[in-house]
Amino acid sequence: MNATERTIIEQFGYWRDAQGLDLGSASLEPGVPIVVIGCGTSYYLAQTIAVSFVSHGLEAIAVPGGEWNLRPESYVPIQKRIQVLALSRSGETTETIAAARRSLGRGERVIGITCEPGSSLTTACTACIAIPTHPEEDIVMTTSASLMLLVGLKLSQHGSGLTVSGVNHAQSMLERARLKLDALVQDRTHFVYLGGGALYGVAQEGALKLMEMSLSYSQAYHPLEYRHGPIALVDQATLVVMLYQPQTLQEETALVNELRSKGAAVIGVGGPGDLSLELNEPDPALRGLIALPTLQWLGERVAQSKGLNTREPRHLTKVVMLS
């Protein structure tokens, strides 16, 4: 087993520890709209977390760190009172740190989530939650992505979030996927991730993971958007990951049937597909968290099928710092 595989498979112990984390000092102010920021993986997690806040009654929006730093007025009306939740594994990403500092400078409350206790983010926040990740994790975010999503969702769900059985479920989904994924990825070169609402951020994170790890072009869409143009690309080389929601199972199944009739192979997370992975968690954002390790594993397997080492993805560095 290589180091990336270990960071995917061994992550559940870290999840269990994170469940017990006391978020007391990092609480958000009730009733004040939240801007969730981050870059790359951390931005996609921010999207799912923002939707979860909205689902639990709070106004929230996800904005890329660079955008929040350069043009906050494009996302929130000037003078509106807001608070910020900033995500960064490294706690050093230039745009996220600059955006957090600017928010602090405007008098906004800034809560940070990072995996690096001594990082710059901890000094750019009102309060910061630091949650160390798997020591073998390198450029590609695996355990850390799940941990930051787990903590962000816990904040959005008033301290509750993923249950013990949810962690077990994520682990058993990954175990099942490990037995089945290799057969499905054979001869597939076009990768599509579909998820709506809270699952759109997770779909984007799945697509990013696969792109970084396997140097394959991948796309993420809201499910029903896929019919409006991108479906033209579907053929026998297409592999689709459909992140189902129980409330929209019918519409999403109809789409999957259409994609399969055009040659796509489908991994159905929580619904039908060539590989159907059971998912009985009702909360959409938690469904995404449960599915995340399986999506990470998919990236690793496609990389291995192309003979690529996911410790050294082309052009990437562990921390993106702009001079």
Interface positions, 261-280, toward ligand F1P (CB under 6 A): none
- When binding is defined by CB under 6 A, the residue of 7, 11, 42, 120 that contacts ligand F1P is 42
Do the Cβ atoms of 108 and 84 come closer than 8 Å? yes
- When binding is defined by CB under 6 A, the residue of 40, 66, 112, 288 that contacts ligand F1P is 40
Smallest gap from residue 249 Cβ to ligand F1P (A): 31
Our finding on whether 96 is near ligand F1P (CB under 6 A) is yes
Our finding on whether 134 is near ligand F1P (CB under 6 A) is no
Our finding on whether 89 is near ligand F1P (CB under 6 A) is yes
Strand-pair partners of 127: 111
* Measured distance CA(95)–CA(16) in Å, rounded: 31
Sign, Cα dihedral of 211, 47, 296, 196: negative
Nearer to ligand F1P by Cβ, of 113 and 277: the residue is 113
Q: Supply the angle between the helices 284-305 and 143-156 in degrees, to the nearest 10.
A: 170
Our finding on whether 37 is near ligand F1P (CB under 6 A) is no
Buried b (16+ CB within 10 A) or exposed e, 168-196: ebbbebbeebbeebeebbeebebbbbbbb
Segment (H or E) for 126: none
For residue 140, give the 3-state DSSP assignment.
coil
* DSSP 8-state symbol, 115: S
* Measured distance CA(90)–CA(122) in Å, rounded: 11
Total of residues contacting ligand F1P (CB under 6 A): 17
Our finding on whether 39 is near ligand F1P (CB under 6 A) is yes
For residue 108, give the 3-state DSSP assignment.
coil
- When binding is defined by CB under 6 A, the residue of 35, 141, 259, 302 that contacts ligand F1P is 141
- When binding is defined by CB under 6 A, the residue of 21, 127, 139, 231 that contacts ligand F1P is 139
Write out the two tokens for 301. Answer: 């397997």
**Candidate ranges 2-10, 37-45, 221-229, 282-290; the one touching ligand F1P (CB under 6 A):** 37-45
- When binding is defined by CB under 6 A, the residue of 35, 85, 173, 212 that contacts ligand F1P is 212
**Candidate ranges 1-9, 16-24, 86-94, 245-253; the one touching ligand F1P (CB under 6 A):** 86-94
| Footprint on this chain of ligand F1P (rule: CB under 6 A) | 39-42, 88-90, 93, 96, 139-141, 212, 316, 318-320
